[in-house]
Amino acid sequence: MNSNYARALIPLILAGTFLLDVFMPWGYAVWVVGDVFGAILTLWIEWPIAPYLVATIGTVLAYLGHTLSPPFIPVDIAGFNRVVGIALLWMTAWLVARARRAKLDDATRRLGAIVESSSDAILSVTPDGFVTSWNAGAERLFGYTANEMIGRSTLTIIPAHLSRDRAWELATVRGTHDIQSYDAVRLTKDGRYIDVSVTLSPLKDEVGQFVGVSKVIRDISDRKRGEVLLRQAHEALEIRVKERTAELSAANHSLRILSNRLMQVQEEERSRTVADGPEDRLARYPA
């Protein structure tokens, strides 16, 4: 069931049940079914106190219904029925809350297993930038253990000379800038600089309040080295193309000079042939 649908349905059930309770005699306990069903629907609502809130509202409405509905059976029996019904309602709320906690604990365990087995560094920080969790991937990437980093500022892994990056990082985790992904340089425990990709996402508690930021940091040093090699190869190719183009241009220029010279010689020879008389041509080219 959709969470929004459950939120809309619960008030309708409580209100409808209350109206039935008011206009029906004491001996009819239809309100118990309606209120219990409303408590069960809180399974689909993220708010952890929702089952107890519904139980509280149901208790108040049960008392009002008992006061306003017409008598049908003795007061003491009707009162006892109300007490039993309210107890059933609160028992249902407790069971629903327990099921929610079990479901949440199971999801937390599965998420924790995924985080710990990830090859990426995954950490969570407070709005002030202090580390609250540090997975095995972060230990491998930066060299710090969880005990060393939990409680310390994330500025520990940001190079000191990147002052703008440090300020931007703090501003981001405080929520003053949009959460986003970006490439950056980070510092390991042994003083090495590594190229990383950082993805930030907000952390919220069960009532939707911002409580920190989750960071996924991936080592992209190999990708960066590949980009450098590709850029160098591209630059070398451009240089080679320019050199080859220059060589071809020089050869083409030499060919043009030679062609022009040949044309000039042919023209000179043609001019002399036209200018010479028959006797001169016979003397130049004897039989």
137-196 confidence digits (pLDDT tens)? 999 999 999 999 999 998 899 888 876 776 676 676 666 556 678 888 999 999 999 999
Q: Which of 186, 204, 203 is nearest to 195 (CA)?
A: 186
Question: How far from 9 is each of 132, 172, 269, CA to CA, in Å?
Answer: 38, 39, 109
User: Domain tally for the chain?
Assistant: 3
Whether residue 102 sits in one domain with residue 133: no
Whether residue 275 has pLDDT greater than 70: no
Whether residue 50 sits in one domain with residue 19: yes
Ranges 40-44, 211-215, 254-258: which has the least confidence: 40-44
Whether residue 235 has pLDDT greater than 70: yes
Whether residue 202 sits in one domain with residue 179: yes
In this prediction, residue 137 carries a pLDDT of 93
Q: What's the DSSP call for residue 130? A: B
pLDDT bracket for residue 29 (50, 70, 90): low
Whether residue 131 has pLDDT greater than 70: yes
Q: Look at residues 114, 143, 162 and tell me which one is the last residue of a structural domain.
A: 114
Whether residue 100 sits in one domain with residue 41: yes
Element (H, E) at 199: strand 193-204
Whether residue 138 sits in one domain with residue 62: no
* Model-wide pTM > 0.85: no
Whether residue 230 has pLDDT greater than 90: no
Q: What's the DSSP call for residue 158? A: S
Element (H, E) at 193: strand 193-204
Percent of the chain with pLDDT over 90: 16
The whole domain housing 213 covers: 118-219
Question: How far from 129 is each of 45, 98, 105, 156, 219, CA to CA, in Å?
Answer: 31, 33, 26, 10, 21
Whether residue 83 sits in one domain with residue 9: yes
In this prediction, residue 148 carries a pLDDT of 94
Whether residue 150 sits in one domain with residue 185: yes
Q: Look at residues 86, 114, 142 and tell me which one is the last residue of a structural domain.
A: 114
Whether residue 138 sits in one domain with residue 57: no
Whether residue 175 sits in one domain with residue 84: no
CB burial of 151-181 (b: ≥16 within 10 Å; e: otherwise) equals eebbbebbeeebeebbebbbebbeeeeeeee
- pLDDT tens column, 56-105: 888 888 777 777 766 666 666 667 777 877 888 888 888 888 888 888 77
Whether residue 92 sits in one domain with residue 27: yes
User: Tokens representing 53?
Assistant: 């809130």
In this prediction, residue 19 carries a pLDDT of 73
Whether residue 122 sits in one domain with residue 70: no
The CATH number assigned to the domain holding 168 equals 3.30.450.20
Average pLDDT over residues 5-20: 73
Q: List, in sequence order, every residue forming a beta bridge with 123; answer none if it has no partner.
A: 134, 215
Cα separation, 102 vs 48, whole angstroms:
12
Q: Look at residues 60, 88, 114 and tell me which one is the last residue of a structural domain.
A: 114
Whether residue 55 has pLDDT greater than 80: yes
Whether residue 264 sits in one domain with residue 178: no
Most confident of 102-111, 142-151, 225-234: 142-151
pLDDT bracket for residue 206 (50, 70, 90): low
